Amino acid sequence: MSHIFDPTTLREYDIRGIIGETLGPDDARAIGRGFATLLLREGSVEGRRPCVAVGYDGRVSSPMLEHALIEGLTSGGCAVRRIGMSATPMLYYAEASAEEVDGGIQITGSHNPANYNGFKMVFEGRPFFGGDIQRLGELAAAGDWTSGMGEVDSVDIIEQYVERLLTALSGIDEGVLSGLRIGWDAGNGAAGPALELLTQRLPGEHHLLYTEVDGNFPNHHPDPTVEANLVDLRALVAAKNLDFGVAFDGDGDRIGAIDGEGRVVWGDQLLMIYAEDLLGRLPNATVIADVKASRALFDHVAAHGGKPVMWKTGHSLIKSKMKEVSSPLAGEMSGHVFFADDYYGFDDALYAAVRLMAASARLGRSVTELRGAMPEMINTPEMRFQVDESRKFAAIEEIAARIAASDAVADTTDGVRVTTDDGWWLLRASNTQDVLVARAESDTQEGLERLLASIDEQLALSGLERGSNVGH
């Protein structure tokens, strides 16, 4: 028996597709079978059957995929620990906190439309991505799978997970925390139940929106990096005069925030707050951010005695880099934040929210004050435009070559990020879609226009244009 995946589903960081069109139960079964095979052949488990934790988000199709995935894992020879409907970081926690768990698979469509779903994977404590995912496809096509009979047990970890989140407030004066008033928007995503339990135990006053899990997302799309999705949270913060508000994506691994004045605190700005707090306790620490982050962040890290590192976009790539350079903190513009000082190094938006409370308390300033003290950079949102799959990487190579032949200052860690007297501009190829991503930042509007003109010039030289923005 063998299986052929739709080629569009095997992505760089995860497996993702449209239910009933490019993704279904047979794919889930083959993923389980292949993952079990790799654990048995290449894992470090000796003398016992490997165990894989499995969770799923609130999408309508998730239980069906979970059933098929578990069939694949058990028939491949793995034991399965079911944690049920859960946020992705709960699955990561189930994998990281138990010695006898060797891998984890979360069924989730993250922030994608309701008819999408997918799989995020961890293999013996490390991200499972890139070549790992391609190998699942190769094993399936060849039918080259191990066989066995694994057992399944179900565990409820939400209580111990929430207890672990609360440790982020250890040592902080309860009196300071009890004065906080916070708004929360779960966006009908999988973080809702854990958020309800968490806020019952947190000091302070808490106002919650949309904690009921509903895979149709009836109130707004669960992507907190899109400002339009923060309208309800902003209204709640204004109506109740709250200190700040926090929002989550569909599977709870990305955070969005607004301050008490309704201003968005973007991913790189959140990282500025976390870094300032962390560097007060861990001087000289390395802090990683992706190439889309503001210059203000890298300057802020350096000003507070840290070592800023610019790295490639993608949660799997960032996690791997953190391990390589022993970084205790990293983040992306997209709202993935990774703490490895007192936590496990995975992206957990609920934990990041508690750490925002902790940082504000330790720094002695409100989130609004911290946001207000940041330099007002003028920047574009992330601009995404369609480019044929066969052209996207080639175009970036052409642009990089032209920039290298000029006297411009460029960083080619991930695409091309060019720094000029006006600020910086970025062009990079998406690893997951047939799009190029552009961004620019300046101190002045005139400078920003010149940077955008440079982007357009480079695209034109490669026979491309920015055109209209496309979604994720």
Q: Where are the domains of the chain?
A: 15-155, 161-372, 378-461
Instruction: Please state the rounded mean pLDDT for residues 386-390.
Output: 89
Q: Report the chain's mean pLDDT, rounded to a whole number.
A: 95
Token digits of residue 108:
């989730």
Q: Which two tokens stand for residue 175?
A: 């009196």
Report the alpha-carbon distance of residue 33 to residue 29 in Å, rounded.
Answer: 6
Question: If pLDDT is split at 50, 70 and 90, which confidence band does 12 have?
Answer: confident
Q: How confident is the model at residue 468 (pLDDT cuts 50, 70, 90)?
A: low
Report the pLDDT value the prediction gives residue 303, as an integer from 0 to 100: 98
Spatial separation of the C-alpha atoms in residues 121 and 316, rounded to whole Å = 10
122-167: pLDDT as tens digits? 999 999 999 999 999 999 999 999 999 999 999 999 999 999 999 9
Which tens digit of pLDDT belongs to each residue from 102-128? 999 999 998 888 899 999 999 999 999
Percentage of the chain modeled with pLDDT above 90: 90
Checking if the pLDDT of 429 tops 90, the result is: yes
Least confident of 15-19, 41-45, 161-165, 443-447: 41-45
Q: What CATH fold (topology level) applies to the domain 15-155?
A: Alpha-D-Glucose-1,6-Bisphosphate; Chain A, domain 3 (3.40.120)
Q: Report the percentage of the chain scoring pLDDT > 70.
A: 99
Would the CA dihedral through 148, 153, 156, 157 be positive or negative? negative
Fold of 378-461: TATA-Binding Protein (3.30.310)
Quote the CA–CA distance of 224 and 363 in Å, as a whole number: 25
Residue in the structure block whose two tokens are 């700005």:
269
Catalytic residue status for 110: yes
User: 161-372 and 378-461: same fold?
Assistant: no
What's the pLDDT at 190? 96
Considering 318-332, 378-392, 458-472, the range whose residues carry the highest mean pLDDT is 318-332
For 385, residues 6+ apart whose C-beta sits below 8 A from its C-beta are 435, 436, 438, 465, 466, 467, 468, 469, 470
What is the rounded distance in angstroms from the CA atom of residue 357 to the CA atom of residue 348? 15
Residue 472 has pLDDT above 60, yes or no: no
Q: Is the pLDDT of residue 10 over 60?
A: yes
Side chain identity, residue 222? P
CATH superfamily, domain at 161-372: Alpha-D-Glucose-1,6-Bisphosphate, subunit A, domain 3 (3.40.120.10)
Query: Which of the residues 61, 110, 334, 462 is marked catalytic?
Result: 110
> Residues 21-29: what's their mean pLDDT?
98
pLDDT at residue 111 in the model: 81
- CB contact at 8 A, 32 and 68: yes
DSSP symbol at 23: B
Q: How far is CA 261 from CA 240, 241, 366, 439, in A?
A: 12, 9, 11, 26
